[in-house]
Amino acid sequence: MIKENTSNAANRQFLYKVCRINGALDMIAGRWKGLILIHISEGQNRFSLLKQLLPVSDQVLGKQLRELEADKLISKTVIPEVPVRVDYQLTEKGKAVIPILEALAEWRDL
């Protein structure tokens, strides 16, 4: 987290203003976000299923999911069962990023 009144915050704000790519990359940056998006797109859309697939703590997974939701890449539906179940879905924005992630993976292997 960058403090608001620092040169780092000012630099980030400048970069986001002059190059929208930086903001886009920030949305998918993070060790687990790409994998989370791919898994959700493949139907692994519950916290417990994602937890089984990824070697991360509950806190890390929860943080990544909250950030993806804040960036409007995923949405969540709370299903009032006992215990409560939460399903995650890709938004239109989230669906649009999947081919980009796949292209990045291919580009990496060039």
Check: CB of residue 59 under 8 Å from CB of residue 32: no
The pLDDT assigned to 2 comes to 63
**pLDDT exceeds 70 at position 1:** no
pTM confidence score:
0.84
The pLDDT assigned to 7 comes to 83
* Same domain, yes or no: 2 and 56: no
Q: What is the pLDDT of residues 5-23, one digit of tens each?
A: 788 778 777 877 777 888 8
Q: What is the pLDDT of residues 20-44, one digit of tens each?
A: 888 888 899 989 999 999 999 999 9
Domain count, the chain: 2
Among the listed residues 110, 87, 101, the one whose alpha carbon sits nearest the alpha carbon of residue 27: 101
For the domain that residue 85 is a member of, what is the CATH number? 1.10.10.10
* Same domain, yes or no: 72 and 48: yes
The per-residue pLDDT of the chain, averaged, comes to: 91
CB-neighbour burial class of residue 21 (10 A; exposed 0-12, middle 13-18, buried 19+): exposed
* Same domain, yes or no: 3 and 52: no
* Same domain, yes or no: 68 and 99: yes
Show the domain range for 41. 31-108
Q: What is the pLDDT of residues 35-93, one digit of tens each?
A: 999 999 999 999 999 999 999 999 999 999 999 999 999 999 999 988 888 999 999 99
